[in-house]
Amino acid sequence: MPSPSYSSPEKRFTDGRRYVRRIGLHHFAYLRSVAEGLDIADCATRYLGTEHGHEARTAHQQTVDAVRAVARRRGEPWRLVGLSIKTTGTDRPSLEEFADGRFDGFSEAEVLEIYQETFPPDRKAVRSQRLRTRQFALLHGLEAMAA
């Protein structure tokens, strides 16, 4: 039986289980895709090489734990790694749809002001977007350092 390669990013146990041995670019691509809201099982199949759907949850947790450990060692906000941030779906029309033919005599700045008064920014959506921005910045920073 050949000995396992030490350059392999993952190692298999004798019973077929895997564990993350070295963090690679594929782990960060996986975490970014999950943070975008894509399905964990599909992303795990694509980026982590899981063969069955039931392996996805374990692979997800191992990847999150490994990247969180790196973030913790660097003193980064490690709780953002693997966090599922839901986007709030508001039924706000775009600025063009809002102004479509109704504000012909107004300047663009005036229409924008009326739009912002009519549809004030949702605090929860702004907070979620800020967290998502911090999460992606953290993943990019860790990727540059660890992978």
Q: What's the distance, Cα to Cα, between the start and end of the chain in Å?
A: 30
What pLDDT does residue 89 have?
Answer: 63
What pLDDT does residue 4 have?
Answer: 46
Which residues of the chain fall short of a pLDDT of 50? 1-8, 12-15
Residue 62 lies in a domain: yes
Residue 3 lies in a domain: no
Torsion of CA 22, 24, 28, 34, to 10 degrees: -70
- Per-residue pLDDT reduced to its tens digit, 84-118: 888 766 678 888 888 887 888 888 899 889 988 98
Radius of gyration of the chain (CA): 22
Residue 134 lies in a domain: yes
Residue 113 lies in a domain: yes
Residue 2 lies in a domain: no
Q: Using a CB cutoff of 8 Å and minimum separation of 24, what contacts does 44-49 make? A: 49/10
**Which residues partner with 11 through β-bridges?**
19
Residue 103 lies in a domain: yes
Residue 4 lies in a domain: no
What pLDDT does residue 28 have?
Answer: 94
Report in angstroms the alpha-carbon separations of 99 from 90, 112, 113, 115, 121. 18, 9, 11, 8, 18
Residue 5 lies in a domain: no
Q: Could you give the number of structural domains in the chain?
A: 1
Q: Whole-prediction pTM value?
A: 0.69
Phi, psi of 19, rounded to the nearest 5 degrees: -145, 155
Structural domain that includes position 119: 10-146
